[in-house]
Amino acid sequence: MAHDVLETLAQVNPIFLIGFPAAATVVFLGMVWFVASRYRRCPSNRILVVYGKVGGSRAAKCLHGGGTFVWPLAQDYAYLSLEPLVIEIPLEGALSYNNIRVNVPATFTVGISTDPVLMNNAAERLLMLDDRKIREQAQDIILGQLRLVIATLSIEEINKDREKFMALINENVEQEINKIGLELINVNIRDITDESGYIEAIGKRAAAEAVNRAKVEVAQQEREGATGEAIAVREKMVNVARESASAAEGKKEAERRQRVTLAKLEAASVTGEVESKRDQEIATAQRMAETVAATKTAEQEQRIRVADAESLAVDGENTANAKIAESNARLAEIRAEAKRRAEVAAAKALEAVLIAEREQELARLAKVELAPQEIEKKRIEIAAEAEAEKLRREARGNADAILAKYMAEAEGIQKVLEAKAEGYRKLVAACAENPQVAPTLLMIEQLPTIVAEQVKAIQNLKIDKITVWDSGRNGHGQNGSTADFLSSLIGSLPAMHELARQAGVELPSVLGKVRENGDTARPFYAGRSEIIPEPDKG
């Protein structure tokens, strides 16, 4: 059927038979290129992390080596570097088990693990982070675990049992950094010191003990050497004396045998030579005399040599004994000195231990008894400082408020005065033709204040009832009693017209006028001035 379709298409369009294979080839090559472009390879020093829809409940798929397809839209990928990270840990002041702060600067080398579980942890927690951020996270974890390990060990364990110390560090640190996908490659503890000098004291004590042991061993070897030397010298001298005596004895024995042989020969000669008996007897006597003399001489020399040898042997023994005694004396002195140094070192070590125990006890007391008091003292000081700071701030706020209030009032008064000054300036300008008008208007403006002050003069007078007895002198040209009373009452008020005149101001006519006698006005305060009301023009 497909063949029939192709024949039909060829009959309709012959070009189709030529273009169809080419189009199929292009489509095939495009599909191959697309599939190849979505294949991602993983280098040996990296981890390929494919995230997105990776199947199952996993958040990502991690590969170390090889490759995989990364499908578009549904998946994407990133790389995690396996290069080691060197982290400097400048740990200072870590508290040990015996409450002594130590400094343990160290260098940790970590890296992302290729374990499948740890790779997934790294993909979940470290993907897209740069080396600085990864180093900071690892540094925080390592620092905390290192302090925890130090807190479980004493100074002696940290300083002596380094294998246990390193094992605990590896176990605790690796267990924690595995949670973020890292593994511990190497740990290098550069130096261990403490602020109190305890480790240095321990080292000095160990060095002193080693030196003392070495000195004792040297003294023992010197003693054994001196003793052996003295014994060898003594044996040498004894052997020499013995050999000398043996040589003298051998010589004497040879001489005796020689004399015996000679005597036998001489006797045979005497027997054979009867004729010369006299000569023989004389010769024999001479020979015998010579033999006896020689024998005595030889015995004397033998005794002298034996005595010399014995004296030399005694001298050798005495010299050897003297050297042995001198060696023993030196050995005793060396032992006494070594014992003294050992006792001094032990006393110093005990003193150092007691000082350390005292420091430990003081630290414990400071922690148990003084620390709560110091904390309470600090709390009280902080509370007092807070209360003082609160009062200072409140006072500063009140002062600022008062200052702001007075500043506002001053600004208001200044603006009022400026406004008044402007009004006065305009008033004076308006009254340029009649200068007397301006003071009059100002006086009128202050009139309520002046009247208020006049009223204050009598406001405290308590008058429940006023009874006026009029004597009827009004018809004789004098004021009546009521008029005199009011006149005297008004006379007790300040002389307003007099004040106006002193100020150079003429009051308006509605306030009355001052009657004058001649050229001089009658003083108001003397009771001779009268306020004459203006006639009613109505």
Angstrom distance (rounded) from CA 26 to CA 312: 126
The amino acid at residue 217 is E
How much is the pTM? 0.37
Whether 258 and 308 share a structural domain:
yes
Name the token pair of 160. 């002596």
d(CA 440, CA 432): 14
**H/E segment holding residue 187:** strand 182-189
440 vs 442: CA distance, rounded Å: 5
Same domain, 235 and 299: yes
One domain for residues 218 and 191 = no
Cα 180 to Cα 351: distance, rounded to the nearest angstrom: 49
Asked if residue 115 and residue 57 are part of one domain, the reply reads no
Residues 61, 88 within the same domain: no
pLDDT of the residue at 270: 61
Is 418 domain-assigned?
no
Q: Which phi-psi region, left, alpha or beta, contains residue 510 (left: φ > 0; alpha: ψ -120 to 50)?
A: alpha
Length of the chain, in residues: 538
DSSP bridge pairs for 182? 112
Query: How far, in Å, CA of 320 to CA of 326, rounded?
Result: 10
Return the closest-CA partner of residue 170 out of 96, 88, 109: 109
- Listed in order, strand segments (DSSP E) in 432-532 are 513-514, 516-517, 520-521, 531-532
- Beta-bridged to residue 528, according to DSSP, are none
Are 178 and 270 in a shared domain? Answer: no
Encode 25-88 in three state secondary structure.
HHHHHHHHHHHHHCEEECCCCEEEEEEECCCCCCCEEEECCCEEECCCCCEEEEEEECCCEEEE
Cα–Cα distance measured from residue 55 to residue 42, given in angstroms and rounded to the nearest whole number: 20
Q: Pick the last residue of a domain from 20, 47, 78.
A: 78
pLDDT tens sequence across 71-91 = 777 888 888 888 899 999 888
188 and 216 within one domain: no
User: DSSP readout, 289-322?
Assistant: HHHHHHHHHHHHHHHHHHHHHHHHHHHHHHHHHH
Domain assignment present for 72:
yes
Residue 455 pairs in a beta bridge with none
Instruction: List pLDDT tens digits, range 414-457.
Output: 888 888 888 777 777 777 677 666 677 677 777 777 777 766 76
**Pairing of β 531-532 and β 513-514:** antiparallel
What pLDDT is attached to residue 96? 85
The reported pLDDT for the residue numbered 523 is 40
In 3-state terms the chain splits into helix, strand, coil percentages (rounded to 5) of 70, 10, 20
User: 464 in a domain, yes or no?
Assistant: yes
The residue from 139, 169, 195 where one domain ends is 195
Q: Are strands 101-112 and 193-194 parallel, antiparallel or unpaired?
A: antiparallel
Q: Do 185 and 258 have their domain in common?
A: no
Report the alpha-carbon angle 486-489-490, nearest 5. Answer: 85
Q: In terms of Cα–Cα distance, which of 313, 105, 282 is closest to 193?
A: 105
Domain boundary pick from 195, 214, 229: 195
Say if residue 240 is in the same domain as residue 338.
Answer: yes
Contacts of 120 (CB under 8 A, 6+ apart): 58, 59, 60, 62, 181
Determine the Cα–Cα distance for residues 323 and 234; give it in Å rounded to an integer: 10
Beta bridge partners of 353: none
Residue at token pair 């002062």 = 399
Q: Which residue has the tokens 């004729």?
A: 275
Residue 406 lies in a domain: no
CA atoms of 44 and 49, how far apart (whole Å): 14
Beta-ladder partners of 41: 67
Residues 312 and 357 in one domain: yes
User: Quick check: is 405 in a domain?
Assistant: no
Please indicate, yes or no, if residue 425 is contained in any of the structural domains: no
The reply to whether 404 falls in a domain is no
Q: In the chain, which stretches have pLDDT less than 50?
A: 1-3, 5-6, 9-10, 12, 16-17, 475, 477, 492-493, 518-538
**Do 507 and 456 share a domain, yes or no?**
yes
Q: How many domains does the chain have?
A: 5
Question: Cα(206)–Cα(349) distance, rounded to whole angstroms?
Answer: 9
Q: Return the CA Rg of the chain.
A: 69
Residues 6+ positions from 314 with CB-CB distance below 8 Å: none
My answer on whether 314 and 209 are in the same domain is yes
Does residue 51 sit within a domain? Answer: yes
Domain that holds residue 69: 38-78
Other beta carbons less than 10 A from residue 493's beta carbon: 15
**pLDDT at residue 110 in the model:** 93
